[in-house]
Amino acid sequence: MPSSVYSNSQQLSLIKTILTRYIRLPFTVSTIPGAIMEAVFAHVRGGRVLNTYDFVDVVKTTDRLGWQVKSTKEGTPVTWKRAKIPNAEELIARSRRSAAGRQRLGNAIIDFCNQHALESLRTYELNQIGFARLIIHDDGSVTYFERLLCTRENPQVFDPQDFKWRWSTPKKTVKKEQLSALHGIHRRTGKKWWAWHGLGENQLHFSGEHNWWPKKNNGHALTFRFPTEDEKISLDGFLALLERFDADN
C-alpha cells in the first residue's frame, strides 16, 4: 500500500498519548506550542522538523510526504503565512479603484499560497502534502485532525475563482486605528475565509479553516480532553521522577 499523509489508528492514539502526558507536566499551560506539536508529529510519523519558512513543517522524504502543522486555541486566527505579494503597492492601489482590481490582488494572494506549496513539492520531491491540525477548545476539549492539501498531480491548494475580495472598514480602538485588511469571501457560502493585512505586516489569516474541522465519525480525527490542573504532576513529583531516572542511568 502506498504511503499516505493520513496517520493510522495506532499513530493517532500515540499522538493523543504524548500530548496528554506532555500537558501533565507541572510547568505547562493549556496550550500546545507549534514547535511541540511539530516535534510530536514528526516523532510519530518518523519524519523530521524542518525549522524553515517552507510551506511544509515536517517531511518524511523516504515516503515523499510532507505536512503543514498548526496548533492554536479555538478562537486564535490561523496565520497561513506572511504573504509578501510582488508588485503589492500597485495592486493595492488598483484594488482601491475597482472590483476587478480587488480580484486581481486577491488572485495574486491565492496564487502566492499555491506557489509556496508547489515549491515544497519540488524542493523535497514530495508526492503529497497534508495538514495536521490541533485545536484546543474553550471548554478544555481538544480536536486533532488530518487532511490532504495537495499532491504532485494536483498541486493547487486553493482555486482563486472561489473567492471575491473587499477591503474592510478600519476599526478604531482606544489606543490606535487598525489598518484595513483585504477580506476574501468564499463565493459559494458568502463567508469570510481570508484576511490579508497587506498594509501592515503581510499576515494572511485563514478563517475558512473552520470549514475543514471534522464532523463526527471522521476516521482521520480524534477528540479528547486534556488533564485538569488537579491531574497534573506536581513539581516535587516531577523532580522525584528525574532523580529516579538519573539514579537508573
Print the SS3 string covering 48-113. EECCCCCCCCEEECCCCEEEEEEEEECCCCCEEEECCCCCHHHHHHHHCCCHHHHHHHHHHHHHHH
Mean pLDDT of the chain: 92
Specify whether the CB–CB gap between 108 and 221 falls below 8 A. no
**What share of the chain has pLDDT > 90, as a percent?**
77
Q: Which of 70-84, 107-121, 147-161 has the weakest average pLDDT?
A: 70-84
pLDDT range class, residue 246, cuts 50, 70, 90 = confident
Whole-number pLDDT of residue 236:
85
- What is residue 176's predicted lDDT score, i.e. its pLDDT? 58
What SS3 class is residue 205? strand
Q: Which residue has the higher pLDDT, 39 or 247?
A: 39
Query: Bigger pLDDT: 116 or 170?
Result: 116
Average pLDDT of span 215-228: 90
Above 50 in pLDDT, residue 4?
yes
Q: Is the pLDDT of residue 101 over 70?
A: yes
Q: Does pLDDT of 1 surpass 50?
A: no
d(CA 12, CA 146): 10
Provide mean pLDDT across the span 96-106: 96
> Residue 209's Cα: distance from chain center in Å?
9
In 10 A of CB 165, how many CB atoms?
21
Question: For the chain, what percent of residues have pLDDT higher than 70?
Answer: 97
- Indicate whether 220 pLDDT > 60: yes
In this model, does residue 52 exceed pLDDT 90?
yes
Question: Tell me: the pLDDT tens digits for 150-208?
Answer: 999 999 999 999 999 999 988 766 565 678 999 999 999 999 999 999 998 999 999 99
